[in-house]
């Protein structure tokens, strides 16, 4: 459950990292959290018959240059935030996940990367691995080529729920987070556009049954959680339903459950990457 006390901000000096820095600083100030700005230096690999010491690279000089950049990076943006700057060597995704677990990080904030005309549907490999490996919540920026807008606070949250028991802790987490922010919260659920059960999938009776079942299950979920939030229910692909709900409700943050779920009707959790790619606002993966 929120609040956040330790935020991990992986940095790679890219424009995307610079673009989300105001969001990290804003979240830290709002939560009273300390920030660790972590840069992971990935060393070149040696090849058979071509050892590293034969390469014309001064690694100590390279590492010192990286450290100097870390020490001076985004100083103005974090002037009034308790921020620690750290550089480690290793595989970026593994090192980020390992540090987050050992140092009991409450939240990781990072861009999606993968920008450019041929990378629209690709999530950055480091971000994808971090989402898969870490246990704490992960905030990712909108997957868009333009720089994110300055943070204006989160006033309208949207929680994407499925019909599995895992949605109960997600709903409770989202409720507590919205309460801390003083924000409104709505729920969204995607009814399958096509379910292969050997029946007339285009029949109105069948569609009505699916929608009625979803409403009933989510009503039971809310009753158990002690909530009564407005529900946006639509048929179609999960990522498109969530995107439409963001636009309809003017949401500025989407909260989703993270992890590969094998249960039936657990579609929200099995579509984490696609939701993040399509959402026109940041996503908090819990």
* Domain-wise residue ranges, the chain: 6-140, 156-285
What CA–CA distance (Å, rounded) separates 139 from 276?
10
H or E element at residue 35: strand 34-41
What CA–CA distance (Å, rounded) separates 256 from 282?
11
pLDDT of residue 264: 47
Kindly report, residue by residue over 35-77, the tens digit of the pLDDT.
999 999 886 655 455 555 545 456 788 888 889 999 999 999 9
User: How many other β-carbons are positioned within 10 Å of the β-carbon of residue 200?
Assistant: 10
Fold observed for domain 6-140: Rossmann fold (3.40.50)
Read off the pLDDT band of 125 (50, 70, 90). Answer: confident
- Lowest-confidence pick of 10-14, 120-124, 224-228, 239-243: 120-124
What CA–CA distance (Å, rounded) separates 154 from 193?
31
What CA–CA distance (Å, rounded) separates 157 from 260?
23
Q: Higher model confidence: residue 30 or residue 197? A: 30
Domain made up of 156-285: CATH architecture: 3-Layer(aba) Sandwich (3.40)
| Helix boundaries (H) for 33-166 | 59-72, 92-102, 125-133
Provide long-range contacts, Cβ within 8 A and 24+ apart, for 20-25: 20/109, 20/110, 20/111, 20/141, 20/148, 21/74, 21/77, 21/78, 22/77, 22/150, 22/151, 23/109, 23/139, 23/141, 23/148, 23/151, 23/282, 24/109, 25/77, 25/78, 25/80, 25/81
What CA–CA distance (Å, rounded) separates 121 from 117?
9
What CA–CA distance (Å, rounded) separates 205 from 213?
12
pLDDT of residue 261: 41
With a cut of 80, say whether residue 14 has pLDDT above it: yes
Do the Cβ atoms of 140 and 114 come closer than 8 Å?
A: no
Kindly report, residue by residue over 135-192, the tens digit of the pLDDT.
999 999 988 766 677 788 899 999 999 998 889 999 999 999 999 999 999 999 999 8
pLDDT of residue 202: 57
pLDDT of residue 173: 96
With a cut of 90, say whether residue 117 has pLDDT above it: no
With a cut of 70, say whether residue 236 has pLDDT above it: yes
pLDDT of residue 153: 83
Read off the pLDDT band of 197 (50, 70, 90). Answer: very low
* 6-140 and 156-285 agree in CATH topology: yes
- On average, the pLDDT of the chain sits at 85
- Tokens 């229910």 locate to 233
**DSSP at 74:** T
pLDDT of residue 1: 59
**DSSP at 148:** P
pLDDT of residue 228: 97
- Lowest-confidence pick of 51-55, 230-234, 260-264: 260-264
- Lowest-confidence pick of 119-133, 177-191, 219-233: 119-133
Find the mean pLDDT for residues 249-260: 88
């Amino acid at each position: 459950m929120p609040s956040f006390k330790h935020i991990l901000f992986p940095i790679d000096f890219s424009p995307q990292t610079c673009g989300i820095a105001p969001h990290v600083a804003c979240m830290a100030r709002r939560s009273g959290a300390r920030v660790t700005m972590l840069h992971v230096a990935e060393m070149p690999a040696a090849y058979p018959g071509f050892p590293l010491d034969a390469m014309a690279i001064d690694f100590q000089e390279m590492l010192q240059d990286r450290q100097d950049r870390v020490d001076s990076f985004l100083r103005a943006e974090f002037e009034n935030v308790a921020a620690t700057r750290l550089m480690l060597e290793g595989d970026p995704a593994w090192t980020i996940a390992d540090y987050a677990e050992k140092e009991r990080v409450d939240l990781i904030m990072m861009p999606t990367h993968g920008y450019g005309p041929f990378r629209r549907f690709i999530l950055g490999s480091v971000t994808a691995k971090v989402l898969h490996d870490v246990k704490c919540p992960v905030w990712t920026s909108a997957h868009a080529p333009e720089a994110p807008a300055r943070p204006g606070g989160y006033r309208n949250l949207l929680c994407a729920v499925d019909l599995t028991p895992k949605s109960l802790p997600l709903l409770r987490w989202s409720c507590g987070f919205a309460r801390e922010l003083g924000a409104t919260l709505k729920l969204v659920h995607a009814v399958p556009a096509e379910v292969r059960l050997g029946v007339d999938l285009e029949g109105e009776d069948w569609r009505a049954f699916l929608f009625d079942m979803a409403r009933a299950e989510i009503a039971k979920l809310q009753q158990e959680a002690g909530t009564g939030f407005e529900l946006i229910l639509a048929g179609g692909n999960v990522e498109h339903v969530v995107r439409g709900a963001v636009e309809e409700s003017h949401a500025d943050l989407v909260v989703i459950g993270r992890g590969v779920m094998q249960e039936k009707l657990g579609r929200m959790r099995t579509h984490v990457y696609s939701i993040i790619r399509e959402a026109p606002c940041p996503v908090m993966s819990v």
